[in-house]
Amino acid sequence: MTNYKSALQSLTIWGGLAAVVAALVQIIWGVAVSPADQVSLGQHAAEIASGVGGILAIVGRIRATAKIGGARG
């Protein structure tokens, strides 16, 4: 495998985080979270993170003080 992506782009990471959150919810509040809800939670978290990342990229480009690209050297 030669293609790389950040950990935050991995649905496996988001799924794992959803499982941890579901376990904590069950332990702390005693609310049962089904496996289907865990999958849904992981997918929604990934979608939200993607949206936040897009917003940060746009804001970062607007606030930037240097141009993109150009000659190196």
Burial class of residue 18 (count of CB atoms within 10 Å of its CB; 0-12, 13-18, 19+): buried
pTM over 0.85: no
Interval 22-35: pLDDT, tens: 888 888 888 887 88
* Rounded Cα–Cα distance for residues 66 and 61 (Å): 9
CB 41 within 8 A of CB 15: no
Q: Please, which pLDDT band fits residue 73 given cuts at 50, 70 and 90? A: low
